Amino acid sequence: MNLRNLSIERKLTLLAMLTSTLAVVLSSASFLIYDLVTFRSILSQDLATEAQIVAYNSAAAMAFNDEAAATVQLSALTAKQDLVAAVLYKSDGTVFAHYYRAGSPKPELPAPVEGREARVASGHIEVFNDVSLRGERLGTLFLQSDMQRWNTRARQYAGILVIFVLLSGLLAWFVSSRMQRLVSRPILDLEQAMRIVSVDKNYGVRAVKTTSDETGRLIDGFNTMLAEIQHRDKALQRANNDLKTRTQELEDEIVHRKRTQEELLKAKDAAEEASRAKSAFLANMSHELRTPLNAIIGYSEILEEETRDSGPAENVRDLRRIQGAGKHLLSLINDVLDLSKIEAGKMALHLETFEVESLLEEMITTLQPAAERNANRLQLRVHGDIGSMHADITKVRQILFNLLSNACKFTENGTVTLDAERQPGSEDRLYFRVTDTGIGMTPQQQRNLFQYFAQADSSTARKYGGTGLGLAISQRFTHMMRGDIHVTSHSGQGSTFTLELPAKVAPEAAEPSSELPASPPVVETLSDLPARTTVLVIDDDVSVRDLMSRFLEKLDYRVISAPSGLEGLRLAREIQPDIITLDVVMPQMNGWDVLDQLKSDPALASIPVIMITVVDHEALGLERGASNYLVKPIDRDRLAEALDRHRRPDEDSMALALSGDR
């Protein structure tokens, strides 16, 4: 058993017992040894005295050679129990008389020694004493004792010692087992309190202080510690509860917000669905409306032609009215379609570079008949070198057409002038001014001018026709191209509409919400080489990007590359490339996701996308809106062919005006 693992009670008891027992044993043993040593010397002296007496008494017997008397005298020593042998030697060393204790073996007799001598040898005391009479030495007496008394005494003492030690140990145990409580009781109480604290986690427990010694101070310290723990525990509990409450609140809030978010998402989805349905409905409507209109206008034109050749002149006039009404209806439908696209955010800019002056001349030519209808003079004034611009030509044409046709409509016997001017500077801008000498507008009319279905007043529509949508659409187109349109007018004195547009319309202008800063090099490249077909290469593999760049540049494409789907999307919005080649297997955002985003973005949906991948899913690619699908390794000829199909035409032979005549 390890002494160190004993309980404090036992340790203290044992300590007291050991200490006292040791003290008792030591003191008793030293006393015992002292006593026994002393006793032995006493024994030795006694024996020497005895020898003297016997020698004196036996001297006469020896002198008279009376052996019997000597033997009788020695026999008197029988009373001495521990005397083993008594021998009288004559002076010549022979034995004169002797006595041996009965029952003891006959001892070995030593040679006589003259004079007196006492010695202790092998547990015996031996004494020699001269026998002499009146100074004359007659012989030697030898006495031998076996120290029986000493041994008995020693045994008795040992017994007493053992009993004494046992008794004192018992007493020490008895006393110490009571006294140790003075020390151990408070410690055990403290330990008990600690156990309760550690097992029950009850920090409200306090150890009872009964003494003012070190243990008392220990208990004080323990209690202070407990109080501190309890205090902190409570604080922690409070904080925990607070936290729980707040967490719960937060969770509730999160749940609430999630629900709201879900509802919003649902609402958004529903709204988008509704918007899509609306757009689809409008598209269908326009189609369904146009088909019969097509017939109405077409047949009235056929009839007009045939009537002009052979029929009555009044019929020709009526047929023309039918045509005019039909065309008005068509323009209404087109305007509504445009508006719905603008509202749905599906109106995209198709930027290209074109010569401004040829566009303006074309416009004048187109509108000449409309001007002549009201006996107006239509004139074009180009100031300085107007050059080319980079914009959506269709929309520019539509805006100018709207402004000019309005001017012709509201002017009679007057002049409609189109001024065009380039103002290079910090921002290269073009100004188109349409000035008429017509009826003009009141400030009130000017304020409502760009609202939907806003005309000067309801009578205006009856008199002049028009949908009331043209200017609103023109203004939105202008804003899409980061331009501005405004009017100055005085009622009765004509009006001046000013259209200002940047000479180079930034691609992202189509998407006012995504105002990403254009990276300057790209803009520079764009401005440097506006006419080349731009290909955006999206591929995570740098070597593929390099190869594609070199190959495509050889084919005279302008190449911009993006190392990831996200960057590709950003660049696509920024530079509005003519063609995108798209890798499918990319980290983070794969090609399909990029394709979906491209196709769902109205500003980008029209950009043809050529998928280039090792994965053969042509059907899937085409279904998702990819224009082409090439499988790696790339066949250069097929790539060239696919790209060539989407190459920007040198001249916009296929461009068509949606607006038609308006």
Partner 1 sequence: MPTILLVEDNELNRDMLSRRLIRRGYTVITAHDGEQGHTMACSDSPDLILMDVGLPRMDGWQVTRLLKSNAGTREIPIIALTAHALLTDREKAREVGCDDYDTKPIEFERLLHKIESLLVVKGVL
Partner 2 sequence: MKAFALRLAVFALMMAAAVDVRAQNLGSTESSEHLIKAGYVYNFAKLVEWPAWATPKGQPIVIGVLGNDDFAAVLSHAVDGKKVDDRVFVVKRLKSRDPLKDCGCRILFVAASESARTDEIIQFQNASSVLTIAEAPDFAKRGGIIALTLGEDSKIRFAINVDAAAQASLTISSRLLTLATIVHTAR
CA proximity to 455, closest of 464, 139, 557, 128: 464
Minimal distance, residue 50 CB to partner 2, in Å: 17
Partner in contact with 1, chosen from partner 1, partner 2, none, beta carbon below 5 to 8 Å by kind = none
Q: Which stretch binds partner 2 (CB under 8 A): 128-136, 252-260, 292-300, 426-434?
A: 128-136
> Which amino acid is present at 540?
D
Pick between residue 235 and residue 295 the one whose CB is nearest to partner 1.
Answer: 295
Got the DSSP string for 411-459?
-SSSEEEEEEEEE-SSS-EEEEEEEE-S----HHHHHTTTSTT--S-HH
CA proximity to 188, closest of 8, 398, 51, 355: 8
Minimal distance, residue 488 CB to partner 1, in Å: 33
- Show the binding pattern over residues 569-608: x = contacts partner 1 (CB under 8 A), - = does not: ------------------------------------xx-x
Give the end-to-end CA distance of the chain in Å, rounded to a whole number.
115
Residue 284 to residues 341, 343, 516, Cα–Cα distance (Å): 13, 17, 35
Q: Does 518 bind partner 2 (CB under 8 A)?
A: no
> Which tokens sit at 143?
């006495």
Q: Which stretch binds partner 1 (CB under 8 A): 219-227, 300-308, 311-319, 489-497?
A: 300-308
- Alpha helices, DSSP H only, in 311-392? 313-343, 356-373
CA proximity to 405, closest of 319, 321, 469, 333: 469
Distance CA 67, CA 98 (A): 10
Count CB-CB contacts under 10 A for residue 69.
Answer: 16
Among 287, 381, 554, 636, binds partner 1 (CB under 8 A): 287
For residue 602, whether the previous peptide bond is cis, meaning omega lies within 30 degrees of 0, is no
Minimal distance, residue 78 CB to partner 2, in Å: 18
E-strand spans in 563-620? 579-583, 609-613
Minimal distance, residue 295 CB to partner 1, in Å: 4
Partner in contact with 59, chosen from partner 1, partner 2, none, beta carbon below 5 to 8 Å by kind = partner 2
**DSSP assigned state of 384:** S
Distance CA 455, CA 386 (A): 33
Q: Does 334 bind partner 1 (CB under 8 A)?
A: yes
Among 301, 318, 567, 593, binds partner 1 (CB under 8 A): 301
Cβ contacts of 106 within 8 Å, gap of 6 or more: 85, 100
> Which tokens sit at 659?
């607006």
Partner in contact with 65, chosen from partner 2, partner 1, none, beta carbon below 5 to 8 Å by kind = partner 2
Q: Does 419 bind partner 2 (CB under 8 A)?
A: no
Among 290, 479, 570, 624, binds partner 1 (CB under 8 A): 290
Torsion angles phi and psi, residue 521, rounded to 5 = -60, -40
Minimal distance, residue 305 CB to partner 1, in Å: 7
Q: Does 91 bind partner 2 (CB under 8 A)?
A: yes
Applying CB under 8 A, what is the total number of residues that bind partner 1?
31
Minimal distance, residue 455 CB to partner 1, in Å: 24
Q: Does 76 bind partner 2 (CB under 8 A)?
A: no
- Which parts of 521-540 interact with partner 1 (CB under 8 A)? none
Among 136, 200, 253, 305, binds partner 1 (CB under 8 A): 305
Q: Are 267 and 282 in contact (CB under 8 A)?
A: no
Partner in contact with 605, chosen from partner 1, partner 2, none, beta carbon below 5 to 8 Å by kind = partner 1
C-alpha count within 13 angstroms, C-beta hemisphere, residue 527: 13
Q: Does 64 bind partner 2 (CB under 8 A)?
A: yes
Minimal distance, residue 53 CB to partner 2, in Å: 12
Q: Does 653 bind partner 1 (CB under 8 A)?
A: yes
Residue with the two structure tokens 């409502």: 448
Pick between residue 323 and residue 455 the one whose CB is nearest to partner 1.
Answer: 323
Cβ contacts of 144 within 8 Å, gap of 6 or more: 83, 84, 85, 86, 107, 124, 125, 126, 127
Minimal distance, residue 42 CB to partner 2, in Å: 28
Binding site for partner 2 (CB under 8 A): 56-57, 59-61, 63-66, 69, 91, 133-134, 136
Binding site for partner 1 (CB under 8 A): 283, 286-287, 290-291, 293-295, 297-299, 301-302, 305, 330, 334, 337, 348, 350, 605-606, 608, 627, 645-646, 653-654, 656, 658, 660-661
